[in-house]
Amino acid sequence: MNRTLIPSYDPKQPVRPSMVYIEKKLNWEYKQIIRNLKKENPPDEAELNQLGEQGWEMSGVAQQPPLAYFYFKRQIEK
């Protein structure tokens, strides 16, 4: 007996991703680290690991030579 839990793929039918419901609004705080790369090194692995232990997650990097901007975020409870 052939029982399939996943329907077969039909390229003519649109793909409908699963719905995700968020019951409460997420709140974030942000941190910016600016480094002059002519005078300073970017954050090293140890510094990034320390930020990670504090709950910070890197969310972006931008550069405007000689400056580099490192952006971090972490979720906060309100």
Answer yes or no: is pLDDT of 51 > 90: yes
CA angle 74, 75, 78 (to 5 degrees): 140
Per-residue pLDDT at 14: 78
pLDDT higher than 60, residue 1: no
For residue 53, the model assigns a pLDDT of 97
pTM above 0.95? no
Please give the structure tokens belonging to residue 3. 């029982």
The pair of structure tokens assigned to 7 is: 């329907």
Average pLDDT over residues 46-56: 97
Q: Cα separation of 22 and 73, whole Å?
A: 19
Q: How far apart are CA 71 and CA 61, in angstroms?
A: 6
Is 70 exceeded by the pLDDT of residue 7? no
